[in-house]
Structure 1
């Protein structure tokens, strides 16, 4: 095992002479620059230390990037869980619409007027605010008010609330003329 590492690598065929000469010349240039810097009084920058600092900085950036990705994944996971809970509540608590429902109930969804057919009793409950409309995959279901509150706290876009009748203003000259909810045009 006599000789330098360079000689051993050349004999083993793991390196070629051209590459070895290039590395030697780079080494000499670096030593020359360092000696010139010492003579002129400039501080000599150790390539090893700067390389380690650079690697440490890259590691820290990667950790921060990974931390941000993990936070995003956790947030997405929480959103999926909340959506699944709301979906399950709507599916379990929905009030089935009878087949003989003949009263059309209009409401606004996504800036469009939608219509579902309900019975007279369900229409009265909707107008009083005892029922709300749950939205699942562009389908509409009737949900009791207390469950609609729970869903609305988690995902407000999955519930359409019908405002209960407001209190009458005493100074309103048209207070005696109420417009019924079931008015058909």
Structure 2
């Protein structure tokens, strides 16, 4: 198998040694006369190989970019998850139901009176962590909102621009009003 076609023809007796040598010298002379230039077929094959190599490099580059984006997205999600987990407010013995919406569904979270007042005042916020809802402070809610605003579900902030335009600003909402 390792023998070239010339050696196989020589062993079979179809050509003689002189003919093999003559063919080799003719081939060398032909390459030397053409100045080492490849034939048009060889040029086309090289050009096709170069195009394929460039396309593969571009595909690899795109795949690496997608992998890096996916890794960065996962790192950001883990960072948010860790931020919520370390700064969540404990909701033990919650007896007041605080209703809020998550998309188009109405959800209920049981909190104590102090946490309820803080939620209404904007000192606490409700955020979604996977399938659970957690209470976090306003500063943490702002940090989470900067990274992914869809995770902050309830964050009551007093805005000065709305207060100036609000025709009902002079009327106070009763403390015992819950929905």
TM-score scaled by structure 1? 0.71
Superposition deviation, residue 98 in structure 1: 1.3
Unaligned 5+ segments in structure 2 are: 13-38
Aligned CA-pair RMSD: 2.6
- For the residue of structure 2 that corresponds to 1:67, the secondary structure is helix
Does residue 1:65 correspond to 2:64, yes or no? no
Q: Is the 8 A contact 1:82 1:155 kept in 2?
A: no
Does residue 1:52 correspond to 2:51, yes or no? no
Superposition deviation, residue 166 in structure 1: 4.8
For 1:29-178, list aligned pairs within 5 A.
46-99=40-93, 101-167=94-160, 168-169=163-164, 172=167, 174-178=168-172
Count residues in correspondence. 149
Aligned to 1:41: none
Aligned to 1:8: 7
Structure 2: distance between partners of 1:180 and 1:67: 61
Unaligned 5+ segments in structure 1 are: 14-44
CA gap 1:111/1:10 in 2 versus in 1, 3 angstroms = farther
CA gap 1:109/1:12 in 2 versus in 1, 3 angstroms = farther
Aligned to 2:28: none
TM-score scaled by structure 2? 0.73
